[in-house]
Amino acid sequence: MTTLRLGIAALLAAAIFTTLPAAAGPEKVAFPVGYQTDFVIFERIDRDDRKIVRFMYVNRDALQAAKAGQPGATQGTVLVMEDHKVRLNGEEPVRDANGRLVPTDELGIVFVMEKQAGWGSEYGEALRNGEWEYAMFRANGERIDRPTTGCLECHKGQEAVDYTFTYSGFLFSR
Ligand code: HEC
């Protein structure tokens, strides 16, 4: 009987959750299916300290708007930071002819930040990153269910350049 009641409670909870409008948080950000072919790689960052190479992607429309001189990221901008493990020789990273790390196809976390009209309004000023929301995924698109407060806190320091790090050059270089 208890099991049945719990089952009903779970069903009700699920029904309530699916009918509520999405609250602030990572669930608003969907995995950008097909980003590896549809988006543009705009930056590569070698992180010796973490033995990873990061590729940064942006959706084409957003990049076009940025290049056309639109200040700040347009609504609908999706930025992806894709971590690749590097080739190792024992514990030591292998280097190419230019002394750079060699990314493998083995992906770590896929970080996504997305800007949409009206997003972020639920946050207090101390945390709010304009209209950006953040999320983490595995390479297969599975969501990593962790709070994104840390993302907001750290990127908040980049407020003057629309909360971006490597992408800021495209937004504010002109
Ligand atoms: C401690 C600070 C810090 C935290 C926490 C952090 N980031 Fe970042 N983020 C950075 C830095 C610095 C870069 C530039 C890349 C680098 O130096 O490795 C970056 C780059 C990015 C980029 C590429 C766009 C750009 O402008 O460079 C995305 C997307 C991103 N972060 C998403 C996230 C998400 C999602 C989270 C939370 C899960 C997160 N970040 C947490 C500091 C942080």
pLDDT tens digits for 68-91?
Answer: 988 899 999 999 999 999 999 999
pLDDT at 20 over 60: no
Residue 112 lies in a domain: yes
Residue 47 lies in a domain: yes
Is the distance from the beta carbon of residue 54 to the nearest atom of ligand 1 less than 6 Å? yes
pLDDT at 55 over 90: yes
What is the model's pLDDT at position 16? Answer: 47
pLDDT tens digits for 159-171?
Answer: 999 999 999 988 8
Give the residue carrying structure tokens 């209209």.
131
The minimum-distance atom of ligand 1 relative to the CA of 111 is 35
83 forms beta bridges with 54
CATH of the domain at 135: 3.50.70.20
Rounded to the nearest whole angstrom, what is the distance from the C-alpha of residue 69 to the centroid of ligand 1? Answer: 24
Residue 29 lies in a domain: yes
Helix (H) or strand (E) holding 157: none
Q: Domain of 154?
A: 24-172
Rounded to the nearest whole angstrom, what is the distance from the C-alpha of residue 151 to the centroid of ligand 1? Answer: 7
Is the distance from the beta carbon of residue 53 to the nearest atom of ligand 1 less than 6 Å? no
High-pLDDT (> 70) share of the chain, %: 86
Could you tell me if 141 and 31 are in contact, meaning their C-beta atoms sit under 8 angstroms apart? yes
What is the model's pLDDT at position 15? Answer: 52
Range 5-30 average pLDDT: 67
Residue of the CA atom closest to atom 14 of ligand 1 = 165
Task: Supply φ then ψ for residue 98, to 5 degrees.
Answer: -95, 10
**Cα distances (angstroms) measured from residue 127 to each of 22, 25, 103, 156:** 18, 12, 34, 7
Helix (H) or strand (E) holding 88: strand 88-89
What is the model's pLDDT at position 9? Answer: 60
Rounded to the nearest whole angstrom, what is the distance from the C-alpha of residue 150 to the centroid of ligand 1? Answer: 10
What is the model's pLDDT at position 138? Answer: 98
Q: Tell which residue, 82, 74, 58, has the closest CA to residue 132.
A: 74
Q: How many domains does the chain have?
A: 1
Residue 44 lies in a domain: yes
Is the distance from the beta carbon of residue 166 to the nearest atom of ligand 1 less than 6 Å? yes
The minimum-distance atom of ligand 1 relative to the CA of 113 is 29
pLDDT at 104 over 70: yes
Residue 18 lies in a domain: no
Residue 4 lies in a domain: no
Residue 8 lies in a domain: no
Cα angle value 62/68/70 (rounded, 5°): 70
Rounded to the nearest whole angstrom, what is the distance from the C-alpha of residue 166 to the centroid of ligand 1? Answer: 9
Task: Give the chain's mean pLDDT.
Answer: 91
Residue 5 lies in a domain: no
The mean-pLDDT minimum among 15-19, 91-95, 127-131, 145-149 falls in 15-19
* pLDDT-based confidence at residue 144 (cuts at 50, 70, 90): very high
pTM > 0.95: yes or no? no
